[in-house]
């Protein structure tokens, strides 16, 4: 396979362990990891690669469970500075999809970008947040996204609007072969001191109510309509389940905690929690953590 890879200006890594790139710190090797130098490099790669070769775009790895067998094909990671550039035009912040959401704090605070404060505390990259319609503190990407620039599997670049993306709760209708390049985020001009205060307040809430300093992946399951996933898990006794070093956080039982185990054990735990909630509460929990790769 490596003999057929296109010539690129970026970097190929072979048999790269993906546990280095996921918050849960599990995952086998990617057959190939590609770190494009810039958009043109990504475009050229997509246009020249074997059309049968599978592609998976890896963001910040914050809500991702990669199985122990790793990933076939090519894992693309938008890690270069070219995918993190930003500028403001009117009341729109245009920002590259590879930028970590945490790094938006300085941009949002110093420029008084009201309404974007919630994004700054969402784990992962902006591209992942857009694709999954991430949200917290009463807002979500669908509330602020104006446009997105995307690249399809043929390397063609085009712009889509909010209305094109079929946003739902922690969901969008992005086709699997689209790669988010840049998001245009609408904001309301606000006092910089106030935006900084809101960001700090959000950070403090997370420190107080959510586990810190552990191998986790954010919320494990989506909240069913009108219900809280953690309450259902606790009611069903799912918070007491343990598989190897996989358990749920004692502080917030909708957060996985990897104390040193395999992806297989974590996946078994998730399945067992779903079964317990289904049997006890009659509710089917839908994963928020995406599971990918070979078993």
- Which are the catalytic amino acids? 170, 219, 288
Task: Read off the tokens for 192.
Answer: 């910089």
Strand ranges for the chain from DSSP E: 11-17, 29-35, 55-57, 64-66, 71-76, 86-89, 92-96, 113-114, 135-136, 139-140, 145-151, 157-161, 179-186, 188-189, 246-248, 256-258, 290-292
Place of tokens 């709760």: 169
**Tally of CB atoms within 10 A around 110:** 11
**Tally of CB atoms within 10 A around 219:** 22
Strand ranges for 97-151 from DSSP E: 113-114, 135-136, 139-140, 145-151
Say how far apart CA 284 and CA 238 lie, in whole Å: 13
């Amino acid at each position: 396979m490596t003999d057929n890879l296109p010539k690129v200006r970026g970097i190929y890594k072979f048999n790269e362990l993906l546990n280095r790139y996921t918050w849960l710190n599990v995952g086998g090797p990617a057959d190939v990891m590609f770190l494009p130098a810039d958009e043109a490099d990504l475009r050229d790669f997509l246009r020249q690669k074997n059309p049968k070769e599978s592609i998976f775009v890896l963001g910040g790895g914050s809500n991702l469970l990669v199985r122990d067998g790793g990933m076939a094909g090519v894992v693309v990671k938008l890690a270069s500075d070219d995918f993190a550039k930003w500028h403001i035009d009117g009341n729109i912040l245009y920002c590259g999809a590879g930028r970590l959401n945490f790094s938006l704090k300085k941009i949002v605070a110093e420029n008084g970008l009201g309404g974007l404060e919630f994004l700054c505390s969402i784990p992962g990259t902006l591209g992942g947040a857009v694709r999954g319609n991430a949200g917290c503190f009463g807002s979500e990407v669908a509330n602020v996204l104006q446009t997105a620039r995307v690249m399809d599997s043929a390397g063609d670049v085009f712009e889509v609007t909010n209305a094109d993306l079929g946003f739902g709760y922690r969901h969008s209708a992005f086709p699997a072969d689209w790669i988010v390049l840049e998001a245009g985020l609408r904001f309301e001009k606000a006092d910089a001191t106030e935006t900084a205060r809101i960001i700090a307040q959000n950070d403090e809430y997370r420190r107080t109510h959510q586990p810190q300093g552990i191998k986790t992946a954010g919320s494990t399951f989506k909240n069913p309509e009108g219900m809280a996933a953690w309450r259902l898990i606790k009611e069903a006794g799912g918070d007491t389940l343990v598989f190897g070093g996989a358990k749920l956080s004692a502080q917030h039982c909708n957060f996985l905690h990897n104390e040193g185990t395999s992806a297989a054990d974590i996946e078994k735990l998730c399945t067992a929690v779903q079964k317990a909630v289904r049997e006890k509460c009659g509710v089917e929990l839908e994963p928020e953590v995406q599971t990918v790769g070979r078993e």
